[in-house]
Amino acid sequence: MVYSQLNQPKCMRVRCTGSELSLAECTIYNPEPIKTGVAVIKCYEEPPGECKKFLCANGKCLIHGKPCDGVDDCGDNSDEMCCQKCQGRAFLCKSGVCIPHYAVKDGIRDCLGGEDELDETDKAIENTFTDPMSEIREMRSSAESQVQCGIPNKQDDHSSRRKRSAGWEETLPTQIQWQVVIQDEGLIRCGGAYLGGCWVLTAAHCVRPKLKSFRIKLSVWKKHRWQSTTDIVPVKNIIIHHEYNPQTYANDIALVQLEELYLSDKCMQDNPAVRAVCVPWSTQQFQPNDTCTISGWGRGSTLKWANVTLVGDCEHYFKDRFLPGMECAGDLEGRVDSCQGDSGGPLVCTDTSGLSYLWGIVSYGNKCSETNHLGIYTKVVHYFEWIRSKTGWPAVTKFNQ
């Protein structure tokens, strides 16, 4: 971005994804106040063919920008990982990730070990640890204490859950802690997923800009009954993706902002039965043939879950109805399909470390539970930047800050 101030043109680094409505929604690096003058954006397209510079994990070719400079030019941060040193004023985390210099001592732990927030005294104490294994254990312990999302309930029966390969099964009362109910004028029409803070993610076709009609219920097991851990929260704001198309289900995604408690920045009291699911940031986190989990009430009264498989060649099944930002998954033998669950509900995948990520949102089905027919989901990672810009979080990572 080039802007003129006192007849002196200056450059400022800006990264936009194309879904923004104004420059204010783009990520601006080293922002400076512009009192007068006009700012101009110069856009560029990636040239076709082989990538001659840096190939990001998400397939983007990095043309403008440098790896290991603290600036997430790729959009999935892959250009800032596995760095031996950082360029310019960027800060090198012990995990090999470069972060921008202004993220140091800003009150937010960006490095896994939190070293970007240490003062000189802390660094002196930290440097007394010479055993590499002790350092790794210390970093892991610190990181785990900061994780605020994607940790399943320890009381779940994971052994029986993982052995199950097909079909719906009832959950335990607080098993899926990020599952929410979206109540519309007293009726339960859709599900959603709790992201942390005061934010819920759901399908755009589940909501409309009529805030007083909606209530969000958290920690619900029986559809029409409360349990001791159930919370009911009014809605403060609904943000529907500006390119949502109700005819094609393109960009079928919406954020629901919960209303804060009186004289508080929280929207509910601390509840051990409610935990956020992580927001994925890279398209490489999960791949076709991975087994993930869907959940919902469907036509029943008790929350259920089922395993589904991510499918790679979705265009084969949906032809031109399969659009960018969509994912398809299911059981090709027709034993289970998300159309039996609630729209807007979560498709959750778990990585090798045991953290759960919201990979998809139930959008629509096609010939429910018939052989060779799958469900369509909104692919959450495709909307990473949109979620980050709308929530105002500095980073929607596995910490869901």
265 is catalytic: no
**Long-range Cβ contact pairs of 110-118 (< 8 A, separation 24 or more):** 110/395, 112/139, 112/142, 112/143, 113/138, 113/139, 113/142, 113/143, 114/142, 114/146, 116/91
343 is catalytic: yes
Position of tokens 């993930």?
A: 292
Q: Which of 73, 76, 78, 205 does the annotation list as catalytic?
A: 205
Half-sphere exposure of 322 (CA within 13 A, CB side): 18
Nearest to 376 by CA among 248, 254, 188, 184: 248
Nearest to 103 by CA among 82, 89, 86: 89
Residue 191: strand pairing partners: 181
Half-sphere exposure of 98 (CA within 13 A, CB side): 22
Show the tokens assigned to 269: 């009291």
Q: Which of 295, 338, 343, 389 does the annotation list as catalytic?
A: 343
- N-term to C-term CA, the chain: 28
Q: Which of 72, 252, 331, 342 does the annotation list as catalytic?
A: 252
252 is catalytic: yes
Nearest to 149 by CA among 20, 281, 298, 299: 281
Phi, psi values for residue 205, rounded to 5° = -75, -5
**Catalytic residue list:** 205, 252, 343
